[in-house]
Amino acid sequence: MDKKITSKSTQHLLWVDLEMTSLDPTKDRILEVAAVITDWDFNEIAMFDSGVGHDIKEITSLIDANPFFIKMKENKRALLELSSQSPPEKVVERLLIDFVRTHCDTHYPIILAGNSIHIDRQFIKAYWPMLDQLLHYRMLDVTSWKLVFESKFGQKFEKAESHRALDDIRESITEIKQYIGYIHHADS
């Protein structure tokens, strides 16, 4: 299938953030997912947020192996509780696909957006292949903008670092708006 971008296929962006046990999709697992659909002015159209259910013993051992969670005890506790009360992975994938189909024209590949979105995409490919099939190969990665604006222009976006999926997406949207605002300001 030719995944050429057309004006119709770029009407919306699918912003996704995953919270995982760590960053290796061959062994780590998704604990939480949030998705926000925006237009190209980054106005929020719709939002999806869910935990991902797993066997708690398996997830606890994966989290305990990740040094990041040692300093993030509250985050660890919240994500474990969320996972214990959430639908299983395949159900969450189906709900997320239904959400995307409701708000996007899936006759065209969908542009995935977020911070370091290539990592989230690896997990999507590994665990949610049906969702992955709906996505364009191109992605909007806010981290690329961050590198340019910090290195070239000395503009730094201060993040809250909550490490919760929905908060992180909304922060990424605010961040790209700041960078685009800087461009508009420089043009005036």
Please give the positions annotated as active site: 137
First-to-last alpha carbon distance for the chain, in angstroms, is: 42
Question: Would you state the structure tokens that stand for residue 153, as one six-digit string?
Answer: 């222009």
**Which residues, other chains included, contact 26 with Cβ-Cβ below 8 Å and sequence gap of 6+?**
126
Q: Decide if 76 contacts 59 (C-beta within 8 A).
A: no
What is the C-alpha separation between 178 and 188, in angstroms, rounded? 15
Per-residue tokens: 69: 């969670």
Task: Please count the CA atoms within 13 angstroms of the CA of 159 that sit on its side-chain side.
Answer: 17
Under a CB-based contact definition with an 8 Å cutoff, are residues 33 and 16 in contact? yes
